[in-house]
């Protein structure tokens, strides 16, 4: 089992560990401060950790040798784990939107501004670092020529050619970084203006980002499975 796990997708494994750590500190900050935006980004990090953990194990299982029962191997099992991850993201998105709407209807002051501010800054840095690592994985897996188009443009053009787990982490980490930035802006504006309605708006924006990533992953996974079925007909 250990040998199999070592073959799992590195990007999803690293991202799962990073988001687990972020989720723990964010839940703590959300509980202490009562900030809706912090709660939303805590939910987001929890969803990302679960998703990327499932995809990591799925990618490891995909390396298992074919058997008599599964003569074509397990290389597409990772797509099923991605679909499971989409279900988790969708549930978390609903909860985030629901919380945001509650805050808009009944805005209230949150405390411990500097705790929230510090943790969200750390979140942006950590998510940004993981995103940068995943972008390098995209370039490596797709064998993109960065000399021609530049690094960032090459990643955008060739992410569709990278492995499904890498794509999942790439899209989720873009949303995670944006979500942390949205939460940071919402917390700062709410503190400076005293308008805690902004906290609810930021929470809803993070929920909408989660919905967007779920839709994107479903569409791409369906395409991957359709291509696989066509090749085996």
CATH of domain 2-231: 1.20.1510
Q: Is residue 20 within 8 Å of residue 49, measured between CB atoms?
A: yes
Question: Is pLDDT larger for residue 87 or for residue 110?
Answer: 87
pLDDT digits (tens, 9 = 90+) for 193-230: 888 788 888 888 888 888 887 787 777 666 555 554 54
Q: Is residue 182 within 8 Å of residue 202, measured between CB atoms?
A: yes
What is the C-alpha separation between 89 and 189, in angstroms, rounded? 27
What is the C-alpha separation between 120 and 191, in angstroms, rounded? 14
- Provide the 3-class DSSP secondary structure of residue 191: helix
pLDDT digits (tens, 9 = 90+) for 136-154: 888 888 877 777 778 888 8
Instruction: Label residue 28 exposed, middle or buried (CB < 10 Å: 0-12, 13-18, 19+).
Output: middle
Q: Residue 230's pLDDT is what?
A: 46
Instruction: Record the tokens describing residue 188, joined without a space.
Output: 């700062």
pLDDT digits (tens, 9 = 90+) for 90-131: 888 888 888 888 888 888 777 778 888 898 898 888 888 888
Q: How many beta carbons lie within 10 A of that of residue 146, not counting itself?
A: 14
**0.75 exceeded by pTM:** no
Q: Where are the domains of the chain?
A: 2-231
């Amino acid at each position: 089992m250990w040998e199999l796990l070592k073959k799992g997708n590195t990007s999803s494994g690293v991202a799962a560990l990073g988001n687990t750590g972020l989720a723990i500190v964010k839940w703590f900050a959300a509980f202490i401060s009562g900030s809706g935006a912090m709660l939303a980004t805590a939910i987001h990090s929890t969803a990302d950790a679960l998703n990327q953990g499932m995809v990591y194990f799925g990618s490891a299982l995909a390396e298992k040798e074919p058997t008599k029962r599964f003569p074509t191997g397990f290389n597409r099992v990772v797509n099923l784990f991605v679909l499971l991850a989409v279900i988790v993201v969708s549930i978390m998105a609903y909860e985030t939107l629901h919380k945001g709407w509650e805050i808009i209807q009944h805005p209230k002051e949150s405390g411990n501004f500097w705790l929230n501010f510090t943790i969200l800054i750390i979140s942006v840095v950590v998510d940004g670092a993981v995103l940068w690592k995943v972008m390098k994985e995209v370039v490596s897996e797709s064998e993109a020529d960065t000399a021609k188009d530049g690094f960032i443009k090459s990643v955008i053009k060739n992410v569709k050619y990278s492995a499904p787990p890498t794509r999942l982490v790439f899209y989720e980490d873009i949303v995670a970084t944006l979500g942390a930035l949205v939460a940071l802006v919402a917390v700062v504006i709410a503190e400076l203006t005293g308008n805690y309605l902004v906290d609810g708006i930021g929470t809803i924006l993070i929920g909408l980002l989660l919905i967007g990533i779920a839709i994107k992953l479903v569409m791409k996974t369906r395409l991957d499975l359709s291509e696989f079925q066509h090749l085996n007909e």
